[in-house]
Amino acid sequence: MRGERVLRWNRTARIAHWLMVIGVTAGFVSGLPVLDGRLFKPIDDLLGGEAVREFLHYYVTTVFLGAAIPLVFVRGIAARGDEWWWPSWDEVKQAVRVALHWFGLSREYPVIGFHHPMEKLFLMSVHFGLVLLGLSGVLMVFADLGPTYKFVLLMLHDIGFLMVSVPLAGHFLLAVNPVNWQALRAIFTDGKVDLSWARHHHPGWKAANASADPRVGGSERGRERGPARRDA
């Protein structure tokens, strides 16, 4: 199996990922001074003032996220199955079992497929949070609403910020975990991970265990192996 690799992130996924990274980073960096002008004034100064901040927040963020979101949905709809980011009811129950396992309340741990069940919940939170940020932001900037409505929209904007920032902080910490360096390297390069890593950490991932999946490189001997044991 040495040298065999499987495609985890195709080109569409990698492009969408980096569009999201640029858009979210631009939105966060330019939005923090608005959230608390005194606390985040050094960021505002570093950006060069209000004009640059507004350009980043209104245009750079909108363009990059606006380009990324359709790619996310197109890829998900085309892939469905393993790679679809919307959690099924079974995956919600799997996420509950994972949480119970993490807190020592259960010894049961589900077989992990392409996505970790918790990852799907985080992705759903990020996507809905981005929609909430976008809609509330557009209405605050372009709609002529009274102070009461603007206060409600600002609250919704802050909720969207939390729905995006908290899961992304967890995503970043997991990405830099040495266990996940294979996936991290793949998003920077050709999208491929070692087949042995895929089978060990994602034993329920169908492409990594399929005998004739064209995305799996290497010899037929490696392809004919059955699923690896699930992680304990």
| Interval 12-41: pLDDT, tens | 889 999 999 999 999 999 988 887 878 888
228: in domain: no
**65-71: long-range contacts, CB 8 A cutoff, minimum separation 24:** 65/19, 65/20, 65/23, 65/24, 65/27, 65/130, 65/134, 66/23, 67/19, 68/16, 68/17, 68/19, 68/20, 68/23, 69/127, 69/130, 71/12, 71/15, 71/16, 71/19
Two tokens, residue 20: 């999201």
232: in domain: no
Average pLDDT over residues 137-150: 83
52: in domain: yes
> Averaging pLDDT over each range in 13-17, 65-69, 219-223, which range is the top one?
13-17
231: in domain: no
10 Å CB burial of residue 180 (0-12, 13-18, 19+) is: middle
Q: What is the CATH number for 46?
A: 1.20.950.20
Kindly list the distances between the CA atom of residue 193 and the CA atoms of 190, 199, 208, in Å, as whole numbers in the listed order.
9, 10, 10
Range of the domain at 93: 5-223
57: in domain: yes
Which among 165, 157, 159 has a CA at the least distance from the CA of 25?
165
pLDDT of residue 77: 64
80: in domain: yes
pLDDT of residue 144: 79
How confident is the model over 91-133, as pLDDT tens digits?
Answer: 899 999 999 998 999 888 899 988 888 888 888 899 899 889 9
Q: Confidence class of residue 161 from pLDDT cuts 50, 70 and 90?
A: very high
19: in domain: yes
Number of domains in the chain: 1
Q: Confidence class of residue 140 from pLDDT cuts 50, 70 and 90?
A: confident
215: in domain: yes
The 3-class SS string of the chain reads: CCCCEEECCCHHHHHHHHHHHHHHHHHHHHHHHHHCCCCCHHHHHHHCCHHHHHHHHHHHHHHHHHHHHHHHHHHHHHHCHHHCCCCCHHHHHHHHHHHHHHCCCCCCCCCCCCCCHHHHHHHHHHHHHHHHHHHHHHHHHHCCCCHHHHHHHHHHHHHHHHHHHHHHHHHHHHHCCHHHHHHHHHHHCCCEEEHHHHHHHCCCCHHHHCCCCCCECCCHHHHCCCCCCCCC
Average pLDDT over residues 145-171: 89
